[in-house]
Amino acid sequence: MPSARMSTLARLQGAIDRLEHGLAEPLRRQPLGHAAVDAALQGGLALGALHEVFGEGSAAGAATGFVAGLARQASEQRFLLWVRVDFAARESGDLAMAGFAELGLDPRRIVVVRAPDADSALRSAADALACTGLGAVVTELWGESRAFDAVASRKLSLAAQQSGVTALMLRIAATPQTSTAETRWMVRAAHSPPVEGWGAPMLETSLIRNRRGPTGRWIMEWNCDACRFREPQTHPRPLVAAVADRSYRTAVAAPRRLAG
């Protein structure tokens, strides 16, 4: 199986990396709850590292939900600092604490920093990453940003590595670019299962960069009670509804590959 070979290759690559960089202790990892994802991530989300989440402008809600889920799992009972630029609130709406509470986060442990621009947001995030009282720092930028370049991402990575605080970048309406991130995700909304009424958040997540493992694409569901991701519970219909009039061999998921 190609994916198994990929995974072996990645594990070896990771071993070489560790030997080369003298990284004595492996990264602490937090299992996300979705078996396939955890396998690809070698056990779970690496704590004390930088992770990037991208979403199109129309997927702002889904991307926010995914980051909130990651942040909840990375920070456990500790504080969460959410730095967002003012423009993000104008474009995709302000953070609503009632919604966060329903996802299982405790709004009493969330501190929101409203930064006027990307520069000050990144600077605040870098400072916050040195604070060991925090569990995770989310930096939310909107649109393409010249401020978040290789230097800035390196700075965040190092700060996260030193303190063990997890750094999450939420990039809405931005194109993924090379950075020092441990993982990079592309998120969009997925259909709710057809049988249920209004269900838990369903997310279609593509892991498009993984420093120590294979990439992949999964449907993840956020379980508000256990505060973990999980596989979609009931999934009787295919990802894309069958279109009546098409040839048998048409690639059903082709238009969806844009993100990958």
Partner 1 sequence: MPTDRIERLSPPRDGSPAEPRVVVAKRDNALVLVACDARAAQGGLTPGMPLATARAMHPSLDVIEHDAVADAALLSAIADWCDRFTPLVALDGDDGLCLDITGCAHLFGDEQGLLTALLQGLQRQGFAARAAIAGTAVAARALSRGAPRTIVPPGGEAEAVAPLPVAALGVDPGIVRGLRRAGLVTIGDVLARQPSELAARFGADFVAVLRQASGAEDAPISPRRPAPDYVVDKRFAEPVATLEVIMPTLLALARLLIAAMEKSGKGARQLLASFFRSDGAVRTIMVEAGQPVTRTEMVERLFAEKLDALADPLDPGFGFDLIRLAASHTVVVDAAQRGFDSTAHQAEDVAALADTLSARLGARRVLRYLPQDSHLPERAALAVPVQHCPPQTCHETPWPARADEPPLRPLRLLQPPEPVEVLAEVPDGPPAQFTWRRVTHRVARAEGPERIAMEWWRRPEPGLTRDYFRIEDEVGARFWLYRDGLYGREVLPSADGHGQPRWYVHGLFA
Binding site for partner 1 (CB under 8 A): 58-62, 64-66, 68, 77-79, 81, 89, 92-104, 106-116, 120, 124, 127-128, 131-134, 188-192, 197-204, 222, 224-225
Q: How far apart are CA 253 and CA 260, in angstroms?
A: 11
Nearer to partner 1, 103 or 208 (CB): 103
Nearer to partner 1, 10 or 113 (CB): 113
For the CA atoms of the chain, what is the radius of gyration? 18
Q: How far apart are CA 167 and CA 54, in angstroms?
A: 14
Min separation Cβ 81 and partner 1, Å: 8
Q: How far apart are CA 155 and CA 186, in angstroms?
A: 22
Q: What are phi and psi of 71, to 5 degrees?
A: -65, -40
Min separation Cβ 133 and partner 1, Å: 3
Residues 157, 158, 164, CA angle at the centre, nearest 5°?
A: 85
Min separation Cβ 18 and partner 1, Å: 30
- Do 141 and 174 form a contact (C-beta atoms < 8 A)? yes
Nearer to partner 1, 27 or 128 (CB): 128
Nearer to partner 1, 43 or 61 (CB): 61
Q: How far apart are CA 229 and CA 233, in angstroms?
A: 11
Nearer to partner 1, 120 or 177 (CB): 120
Min separation Cβ 82 and partner 1, Å: 10
Q: What are phi and psi of 23, to 5 degrees?
A: -80, 95
Min separation Cβ 96 and partner 1, Å: 4
- Do 184 and 176 form a contact (C-beta atoms < 8 A)? yes
Nearer to partner 1, 78 or 154 (CB): 78
Min separation Cβ 224 and partner 1, Å: 7
